[in-house]
Structure 1
């Protein structure tokens, strides 16, 4: 069961990476990210932040997969704990953002991802 939860976590992180790609290419979703400071497409600085977040979320997914014992990874267990910590911080930030659309969409998503990461790391 833990491997399945880790797989769902990693798949969600992949979806988040695709969301970031959409932001980079100008998707008008600025109010759903980065505090909702930009209506429509993000400016260059916001797109750079989106680009930097892509490897972070992908590494988080891989770290949780590895912690669940997914074949072929074998990363140190501490990487899973770091991934869980980053997910937890992201959860808090998405719940306290001034952007209501960001809170309503990403708050629950990140809460579920934190719970999934916690299940994997404590199994």
Structure 2
């Protein structure tokens, strides 16, 4: 039960991050909330492409969590036995980067989100 709840929370959080990245790629002026605030306002074209690449990566990460938890594609669970630890490592790095960023808003918004994603990914990995 904790694994299912954790996978659901993780998926909801990563969905928010994915939507945020899509918004950045579409030209929303939220650059100060990402990438250490290096690109305030609208992202330049290369960063918009990077945001779309992040959407793909984040979607794959969400899939790993959902498969490992048994919520989707249960026949693929053997693949996720190792892959889930990549998700945990990714979540550790994301948490650390969002804690040490120069962007105050990134620290306030994304550090807690990443920390919750880290905790829930560990629960899914162990469960």
TM-score (norm 1): 0.93
Aligned to 1:113: 117
CA RMSD across the alignment: 1.2
Q: Deviating runs (4+, > 6 A) in structure 1?
A: none
The total of aligned residue pairs comes to: 123
Asked if the contact 1:21/1:50 (under 8 Å) is kept, the reply is: yes
Report which of the two has the higher share of helix: 2
TM-score (norm 2): 0.90
- Consecutive unaligned residues of structure 1, counting only runs of 5 or more, are none
Distance 1:109 1:95 in 2: 11
Aligned to 1:78: 82
Q: Which moved more, 1:65-74 or 1:12-21?
A: 65-74
Q: Which moved more, 1:1-10 or 1:103-112?
A: 1-10
Asked if the contact 1:66/1:80 (under 8 Å) is kept, the reply is: no
Aligned to 2:36: 35
Q: How does 1:39-50 map to 2 (within 5 A)?
A: 39-50=40-51
